[in-house]
């Protein structure tokens, strides 16, 4: 009866296989633990958010019901809910409630897109051209210093009470936020990367497309998170100044009738719209910045 004799090569191969298998198991275990920890953290975050909402809304309802807070001035959550239900069921004095929401959203979205587009183009252009940036610098600061409500009044006088002045006011609010971020983002581009691109023969267009814009994209996307909120503000302020329909007009009408329920109901709808768009922007950000490695601060937060 012969005995099998393992060569040193076979022994080393088996050892390497066992080491690789053990390493893969440890990696799988760490991945599983990280996934569980991430899910638990998300659950804790959503739980804390829900608890905070319950405390705020419940406390509001309780204080007004007990008479500690005058509901004539501060309304009551249950009454606000009833007012919203009435809006959707019976409409408003200016037409159906979904039509009012649609009008405000259209004005905000158009202003958001126009302000973002112009802000990105001018921000990148001035960021790359120091001479032009220094020439236009005082004029940009002057326009930025003009109170927005004054601009809204000018737009109403010039373009009437239609959609155009609201879109323009929203676009102006968005423009300055996006412009300054795009401008700074271009100025923060790594000069070594730019020099390497030039050495490799990249044209000016290729440098802008493949180096400058991707590098500034982090700044631009960051500005969009607050930009849409300002677009909504511009649309609503324009409607308050003068409009035929929209959530701002409903707020103005409720204010004139000393109706806090109408004011708060429309405010909650506006907040919900902003959160929905913010959710979409976050998804777009993940797609556009998927190439970017996480910085140390982000890794710690995760």
Q: Are residues 217 and 242 in the same domain?
A: yes
| Alpha helices for 129-146 (secondary structure H) | 130-145
Q: Which of 69, 90, 112 is the last residue of a domain?
A: 69
In a domain, 1, yes or no: no
Q: Are residues 222 and 262 in the same domain?
A: yes
Q: What is the CATH number of the domain that holds 163?
A: 1.10.3720.10
Q: Are residues 37 and 121 in the same domain?
A: no
Residue 2: per-residue pLDDT: 47
Per the structure, the complete domain to which residue 290 belongs is given by 74-301
Residue 11: per-residue pLDDT: 55
Residue 176: per-residue pLDDT: 92
Q: Are residues 32 and 85 in the same domain?
A: no
> Would you say 121 and 209 are in contact if contact means Cβ atoms under 8 Å apart?
no
Instruction: Specify the 3-state DSSP secondary structure of 150.
Output: helix
Question: CA dist 93 to 97, 237, 244, Å?
Answer: 9, 19, 11
Q: Which of 50, 69, 88 is the last residue of a domain?
A: 69
Structure tokens at 298: 């982000």
Q: Are residues 102 and 192 in the same domain?
A: yes
How far apart, in whole angstroms, are the C-alpha atoms of residue 234 and residue 213? Answer: 27
Q: Are residues 83 and 222 in the same domain?
A: yes
Q: Are residues 88 and 189 in the same domain?
A: yes
Q: Are residues 63 and 87 in the same domain?
A: no
In a domain, 3, yes or no: no
> Would you say 93 and 253 are in contact if contact means Cβ atoms under 8 Å apart?
yes
Question: CA dist 185 to 14, 143, 234, Å?
Answer: 53, 21, 25
Q: For residue 288, which phi and psi values (nearest 5 degrees)?
A: -75, -30
Q: Are residues 120 and 214 in the same domain?
A: yes
Q: Are residues 159 and 245 in the same domain?
A: yes
HEC assignment per residue over 209-264:
HHHHHHHHHHHHHHHHHHHHHHHHHHHHHHHHHCCCCCHHHHHHHHHHCCCHHHHH
Q: Which of 52, 69, 86 is the last residue of a domain?
A: 69
In a domain, 4, yes or no: no
Residue 298: per-residue pLDDT: 43
Cβ neighbours around 136 below 10 Å, total? 15
Q: Along the 302 residues of the chain, how does pLDDT read in single tens digits?
A: 444 454 555 555 556 566 666 767 777 778 778 888 888 888 888 889 899 999 999 999 999 888 898 888 888 899 999 999 999 999 888 889 999 999 999 999 999 999 999 999 999 888 888 888 889 889 988 988 888 888 888 999 888 888 999 999 999 999 999 999 988 888 877 777 777 777 777 777 777 777 777 778 888 888 888 899 899 999 999 999 988 899 999 999 998 888 899 999 999 999 999 999 988 888 887 777 665 655 544 433 33
Render the burial of 236-272: b for 16+ CB within 10 Å, e for the rest: bbbbbbbbebbbbbbbbbbeeeebbbbbbbbeebbee
Q: Are residues 83 and 63 in the same domain?
A: no
> What is the number of domains present in the chain?
2
Q: Are residues 294 and 148 in the same domain?
A: yes
Cβ neighbours around 8 below 10 Å, total? 7
In a domain, 92, yes or no: yes
């Amino acid at each position: 009866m012969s005995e099998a004799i393992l060569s040193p090569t076979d022994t080393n191969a088996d050892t390497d296989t066992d080491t690789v298998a053990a390493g893969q198991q440890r990696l799988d275990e760490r991945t599983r633990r990280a996934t569980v920890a991430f899910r638990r953290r998300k659950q804790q975050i959503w739980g804390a958010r829900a608890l905070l909402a319950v405390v705020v809304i419940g406390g509001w309802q309780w204080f007004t019901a007990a008479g500690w807070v005058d509901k004539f001035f501060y309304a009551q959550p249950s009454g606000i809910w009833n007012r919203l239900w009435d809006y959707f069921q019976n409409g408003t004095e200016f037409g159906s409630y979904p039509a009012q929401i649609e009008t405000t959203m259209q004005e905000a979205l158009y202003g958001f897109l126009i302000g973002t587009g112009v802000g990105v183009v001018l921000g990148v252009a001035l960021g790359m051209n120091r001479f032009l940036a220094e020439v236009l610098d005082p004029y940009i600061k002057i326009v930025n210093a003009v109170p927005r409500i004054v601009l809204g009044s000018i737009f109403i006088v010039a373009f009437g009470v239609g959609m155009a002045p609201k879109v323009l006011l929203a676009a102006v609010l968005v423009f300055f936020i996006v412009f300054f971020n795009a401008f700074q983002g271009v100025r923060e581009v790594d000069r070594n990367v730019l020099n390497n691109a030039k050495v490799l023969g990249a044209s000016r267009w290729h440098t802008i497309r493949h180096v400058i814009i991707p590098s500034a994209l982090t700044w631009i996307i960051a500005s969009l998170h607050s930009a849409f909120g300002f677009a909504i503000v511009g649309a609503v302020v324009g409607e308050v100044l003068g409009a035929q329909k929209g959530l701002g007009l409903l707020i103005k009408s409720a204010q004139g009738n000393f109706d806090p329920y109408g004011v708060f109901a429309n405010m909650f709808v506006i907040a919900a719209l902003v959160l929905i768009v913010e959710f979409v922007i976050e998804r777009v950000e993940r797609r556009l910045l998927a190439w970017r490695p996480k910085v140390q601060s982000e890794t710690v937060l995760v």
